Structure 1
Amino acid sequence: MKFTILDTERTNNFNDVDVQSKIANLWTRNMPAIKEASAQGLVIACIYHNYASDYKGDYSVSLCVEDDNGVFDTSSTTWQEYTVKPNNQDGIFRTWQTIWSAEERNTLNRIYTFDFERYSPDGTISILIAV
């Protein structure tokens, strides 16, 4: 699967006080394109890339849509998939905490090329980590 970038922000989970508003605004600014892509049955992705170091460093976050000509190609990477629990308001953040914890325990060996949240047309959400 390939993804085309709609919009990008640069941030840090631990040192940027505006991290939540930056990501929320990314979604808000692109909501018309997201709704159109969803109506067409396309996957939406929130892709994390251009890492300065590890999950504690700066990174770019891009909101993307499924596109056969996209710049992010998931086919050449091995992924560790984490399913986000449905109907959990904090599910995405809690899943990221699980990922970071696994990394701290050395049970997850990330390669930091790019990782992504996959928002499927059926409403399921997964986080895929490049390993």
Structure 2
Amino acid sequence: MKLFLVNSIRTNNFNDEQIMGKIQNMWEEAYGNLGYHQNSIFGIYYDYESDYKGDYSLSVGIEESYGEAFVEIPKNGKYEIFKVDTTDEKGVINTWSKIWEQEEAGLLERAYSYDFEKYSTNGEIEIYIAIK
């Protein structure tokens, strides 16, 4: 899958005091640039330094052509899919916490290649975690 990047940041879940502000600004700028985009929007996690505790890149992407910057997500990758409870305003954060808990418990063996959040036009959100 080829996703064209609208906006990107580099951050760390535990060592970046301004992570929430950076992520919020990135999404706001991306939505401003996309205007009336009608298809799914993706939050793409990649270029991992190590595991979820290390630095990583986060981008907002779409499937339609949007400039020259893009990420190619391999089609042969295996993913564990987590559905987000969209009735909970912290649904995305809570789902990521669940993913990290499963990893720490040895129930999820992550590949740390390309993970992504898919924001569908029907309001559903799914998080795809690359697994070994």
SS for the counterpart of 1:64 is strand
Contact 1:34 1:65 in 2 (8 A): no
Letter in 1 for 2:122: D
1:28 counterpart = 2:25: no
Unmatched runs of 5 consecutive residues or more in structure 1: none
SS for the counterpart of 2:60 is strand
CA distance in 1, matches of 2:123, 2:74: 20
TM alignment of 1:1-131, pairs within 5 A: 1-37=1-37, 40=38, 42-67=39-64, 71-73=71-73, 75-131=75-131
Identity %: 39
SS for the counterpart of 1:26 is helix
Contact 1:49 1:61 in 2 (8 A): yes
User: Please, what TM-score do these two structures have when normalized by structure 2?
Assistant: 0.90
CA distance in 1, matches of 2:36, 2:47: 27
Unmatched runs of 5 consecutive residues or more in structure 2: none
Letter in 2 for 1:57: G
Partner deviation per Cα, 1:79-102 (whole Å, 9 max, x = no partner): 100000121100000000000000
User: Please, what TM-score do these two structures have when normalized by structure 1?
Assistant: 0.91
Q: In the TM superposition, what is the alpha-carbon distance from 1:68 to its structure 2 partner?
A: 7.0
CA distance in 1, matches of 2:65, 2:25: 26
Contact 1:81 1:127 in 2 (8 A): yes
Q: Provide closer, same or farther for how the CA distance between residues 72 and 36 of structure 1 changes in structure 2, counting only shifts above 3 A.
A: farther
Partner deviation per Cα, 1:58-117 (whole Å, 9 max, x = no partner): 000001112379533352211100000121100000000000000001100000001011
